[in-house]
């Protein structure tokens, strides 16, 4: 398989199903941001973190590839008139969302209650989590915009929303595990 095809040289790209769209199309921006997020998740996974967190992050990366495939598919070509899936695209399932919720609950059980917002930082690994969280929120905003123009499976939106929450809790857990300082945001008085 060749990496370069030269088919995008004039500023268009093909969706899964063959439809060509401009590279600035909201659908491209949506799945491109999910791809960016996946790279940030890989960076977190490459850090010195616990085996359980690495296992969950590998699963998250798999789900993000699935999510990207959903976003990269022309909805008109995804299903037959009978409603059957034409392109055999994997789906995001409720169990994927529940897995993130379960992991958050488990991590939260070992953390002190949060009384203030926290400033990102304290350790590079924690900062990587916060960067990934912000990219995840951007992916969610873009997917929501796409959904308003061309409806997508709402579990995509729900998964991205829950994933950003998971990344926040993971940042707090890693702050605790790495014995880094969690700096509370207390607004300065002018």
Predicted confidence band of residue 12 (pLDDT cuts 50, 70, 90)? confident
Total domains, the chain: 1
Residue 69 lies in a domain: yes
Between 25 and 42, the more confident residue is: 42
Please state, in angstroms and as integers, the Cα–Cα distance from residue 170 to each residue in 44, 96, 107, 133, following that order: 10, 17, 7, 10
90-97 average pLDDT score: 94
The CA distance from 27 to 143, in Å, is: 8
- Supply the CATH number for residue 140's domain: 1.20.1200.10
Tokens of 58: 């590998």
Longest Cα separation, the chain: 64
Looking at the DSSP assignment, which residues form a beta bridge with residue 22?
Answer: 12
The CA distance from 36 to 25, in Å, is: 16
The parent domain of residue 40 ranges over: 18-177
Q: State pTM to two decimals.
A: 0.89
Residue 27: closest CA among 163, 147, 134:
147
The string of pLDDT tens digits covering residues 120-174 is 999 999 999 999 999 999 999 999 999 999 999 999 999 999 999 999 999 999 9
Predicted confidence band of residue 7 (pLDDT cuts 50, 70, 90)? low
14-37 average pLDDT score: 86
Are the C-beta atoms of 85 and 78 separated by less than 8 Å? yes
Between 106 and 4, the more confident residue is: 106
The pLDDT, as a whole number, for residue 114 is: 84
Residue 190 lies in a domain: no
């Amino acid at each position: 398989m060749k990496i370069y095809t030269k088919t995008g040289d004039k500023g268009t790209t093909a969706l899964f199903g063959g439809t060509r769209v401009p590279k600035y199309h909201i659908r491209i921006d949506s799945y491109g941001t999910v791809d960016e997020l996946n790279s940030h998740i890989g960076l977190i996974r490459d850090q010195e973190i616990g085996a359980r967190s690495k296992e969950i992050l590998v699963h998250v990366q798999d789900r993000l590839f699935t999510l990207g495939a959903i976003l990269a598919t022309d909805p008109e070509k995804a299903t037959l008139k009978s409603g059957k899936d034409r392109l055999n695209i994997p789906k995001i399932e409720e169990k994927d969302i529940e897995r993130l919720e379960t992991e958050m609950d488990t991590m939260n059980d070992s953390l002190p209650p949060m009384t203030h917002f926290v400033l990102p930082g304290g350790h590079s690994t924690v900062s990587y989590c916060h960067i990934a969280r912000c990219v995840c929120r951007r992916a969610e905003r873009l997917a929501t915009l796409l959904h308003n123009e061309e409806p997508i499976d709402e579990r995509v939106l729900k998964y991205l929303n829950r994933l950003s929450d998971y990344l926040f809790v993971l940042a707090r857990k890693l702050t605790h595990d790495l014995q880094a300082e969690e700096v509370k945001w207390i607004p300065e008085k002018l």
